[in-house]
Amino acid sequence: MRTLITTAFVSLDGVVEAPGGEPGYRNSGWTFQGIEFDPAAYELKGREQEEASAMLLGRVSYQAFSPVWPGMTDDFAKYNAMPKHVVSTTLKEQDLVDNWGETSILRSLDEVAALKETTEGGPLIVHGSATLNRALADAGLIDRYHLLVFPVLLGAGKRLFSAADKDKQALKVIESESYGNGIQKLVYDVVR
């Protein structure tokens, strides 16, 4: 079975919306505003590219990343080369870009579960995709969280975690570190 990893830049109050400057959100670009850059805090992001074998995205994140990431050959070379799976009920084949490698559309969480069951390939990594992440968590499909928690409170915005009334989900810390700029790295395995 393949491991499904969610990776996120997240505010202390759980917001994941527009960390890199995506338009339409009033705090857009919050990861770069007033926080000193510390390369050590981002070591996890480089390691993710080495460990993941495929990317899983929701439609909104796919449509935000696909025009930009293919041209970022230095920063995202491994991500650009790996297969992508977009979870969407509305995206059409003709909406897929042709310069970002192999891409397939999954129409349901059952198809995501089936992809996880395959023995070919290593971990699947989810970038962005707040709505997809909440649905994956509610369906019990996430195996690990890679979180870089930023020392900011944003209030409104898309949240990483679901507000669904459900049973408690235990997590096991497998890695953690705090950095001088206030960012905390928290890596959790989901306890089953």
DSSP state for residue 31 in the 8-state scheme:
G
Cβ atoms 124, 56 nearer than 8 A: yes
Residue 34 near residue 172 (C-beta atoms within 8 A): no
Superfamily classification of domain 4-190: Dihydrofolate Reductase, subunit A (3.40.430.10)
Q: Which two tokens stand for residue 171?
A: 């997590």
> Cα–Cα distance between 106 and 85 in angstroms, integer?
7
pLDDT single digits (tens) 50-59: 999 999 999 9
Residue 169's CB is within 10 A of a number of other CB atoms, namely: 15
* pLDDT score at 31: 94
* 4/20 Cα distance (integer angstroms): 23
Report the chain's terminal Cα–Cα distance, integer Å. Answer: 14
Grade residue 74 by pLDDT with cuts at 50, 70 and 90.
Answer: confident
Model-wide pTM > 0.85 = yes
Domain boundaries, the chain: 4-190
How does residue 22 score in pLDDT terms, banded at 50, 70 and 90?
confident
- The yes-or-no verdict on residue 121 having pLDDT over 90 is no
Contact 47, 169 (CB under 8 A): no
Q: Does position 162 have pLDDT exceeding 90, yes or no?
A: yes
- 181, 35 Cβ separation under 8 angstroms: yes
CA distance 23 to 26: 8
